Amino acid sequence: MDLLAPMRTFVRVVETGSFTAVAREASTSQPTISRQIAALEAHLGARLLTRSTRALTPTQDGRAFYEHARRALEAVGEAENAVGRRRGRPSGTLKLSIPVVFGRLHVVPRLGRFLARYPELSIELAMGDGFADLVEQGIDLAIRVGVVQDQGLVARRIGTVRRLAVAAPSYLRRRGAPDSPAALASHDCIAYTRLATGNRWHFQGRDGPIAVDITGRFATDSSEGVREAVRVGLGVALIPAFAISDEVRRGRVRVLLRDYEPTPLPLSLVYPSRRLVPLKVRAMADFLAREFAPDGPGKAPPTESGG
């Protein structure tokens, strides 16, 4: 028996919660959907859906099968896209995870072009800075700022993010400005816990690298949180230039230690390591790498090559 059609149908049924809706979507009759699901259940020897006129909920088996079916259908799609007429024409849905601020400023505005280029492809966007849960959440591709060290992930560096040491005028009036990285030890430093280097800040001085163990009473795992904390004068922070330059221009925060550049962070594409990288992942990765290349098509690339 043919399994693919029932599997496709089942996936859509789970996602829409309705036989009728799937029938319309597939421009077929509703009994066809009913029969396909029934046949699938018979084949598997398991009930996948609990039907009632009003509600349609997957059973435990149904949920498990849904996950497997999605994977399998994606693999079949990859096979179809690997050769022949459809070669190089990715299709399906790409789950993309990007940092909140960077994503809003630099990624989302570019996605329209990507979607136009690959008409059979859809994007499901997740915003977040966490490294760990990519596989868990079924993310296909992520953009991450900072060193990637997770098991099971491949990182492809596409650029470098310059950072600035900043503080709000209100804080500086109260506490004065540090004149060297070492002076930070007696300042309130805002730690970004997502970075492996959490409580140690690294700078490039004229005479080589400088490391400072910082102290402070506010730490957060949210880059938005760091920025907000700086703005309200909670302390000094290192923030990517692209995320804070607006505030600097408006005078809401001041750049400190101009002679000591915080060590730039790598900007990486991250994806689960597989033997065969899906076409859609490769397509998006190549697109992003080109967009953010120092001499790429983006007018104002947020990254700088050296580093």
Partner DNA sequence: TGTAATTACGGGATACGTAAAGATG
Partner DNA sequence: CATCTTTACGTATCCCGTAATTACA
CB of 72 to DNA, least distance (A): 18
In this structure, is the dihedral angle defined by the CA atoms of residues 131, 133, 135 and 141, taken in order, positive or negative? negative
Closest C-alpha among 121, 110, 66, 107 to residue 279: 121
d(CA 13, CA 31): 13
By the rule CB under 8 A, 117 interacts with a copy of itself = no
By the rule CB under 8 A, 57 interacts with a copy of itself = no
Q: With H, G, I as helix, E, B as strand and everything else as coil, classify residue 238.
A: strand
Of 13-21, 139-147, 204-212, 290-298, which part binds DNA (CB under 7 A)? Answer: 13-21
Which residues inside 71-100 make contact with a copy of itself, applying CB under 8 A?
71-72, 74-76, 78-80, 82-87
DSSP characters for 245-257? Answer: HHHHHTTSSEEE-
Q: Residue 28 binds what, of a copy of itself, DNA, none (CB under 5 to 8 Å, by partner type)?
A: DNA
CB of 136 to a copy of itself, least distance (A): 7
Of 32-40, 196-204, 230-238, 240-248, which part binds DNA (CB under 7 A)? Answer: 32-40
Q: Residue 178 binds what, of a copy of itself, DNA, none (CB under 5 to 8 Å, by partner type)?
A: none
Provide the greatest CA pair distance for the chain.
Answer: 76
State which residue, 32 or 215, has the beta carbon closest to DNA: 32
By the rule CB under 8 A, 258 interacts with a copy of itself = no
Q: Residue 87 binds what, of DNA, a copy of itself, none (CB under 5 to 8 Å, by partner type)?
A: a copy of itself
* Burial class (CB within 10 angstroms; exposed 0-12, middle 13-18, buried 19+) of 97: buried
C-beta separation of 163 from 240 below 8 A: yes
Closest C-alpha among 203, 180, 181, 201 to residue 190: 201
Which residues inside 38-97 make contact with DNA, applying CB under 7 A?
38-39, 51-56
CA Rg value for the chain:
25
DSSP characters for 66-131? Answer: HHHHHHHHHHHHHHHHHSGGGTT---EEEEEEE-HHHIIIIIHHHHHHHHHH-TTEEEEEEE---S
Q: Residue 32 binds what, of DNA, a copy of itself, none (CB under 5 to 8 Å, by partner type)?
A: DNA
Of 26-34, 166-174, 197-205, 248-256, which part binds DNA (CB under 7 A)? Answer: 26-34
Q: How many CB atoms lie within 10 A of CB 35?
A: 13
By the rule CB under 7 A, 2 interacts with DNA = yes
By the rule CB under 7 A, 189 interacts with DNA = no
Q: How far is CA 218 from the centre of its chain?
A: 25
**Angle between the N-to-C axes of helices 30-44 and 4-16, in degrees from 0 to 180, rounded to the nearest 10:** 110
By the rule CB under 7 A, 20 interacts with DNA = yes
CB of 55 to DNA, least distance (A): 6
State which residue, 30 or 245, has the beta carbon closest to DNA: 30
Q: Residue 232 binds what, of a copy of itself, DNA, none (CB under 5 to 8 Å, by partner type)?
A: none
Report in angstroms the alpha-carbon separations of 275 from 152, 231, 278. Answer: 12, 46, 9
Q: Which residues bind DNA (CB under 7 A)?
A: 1-2, 5, 18-20, 28-32, 34-39, 51-56
Q: Which residues bind a copy of itself (CB under 8 A)?
A: 2-5, 7, 41, 43-46, 48, 61-62, 64-65, 67-69, 71-72, 74-76, 78-80, 82-87, 135-136, 138, 151-154, 272-276
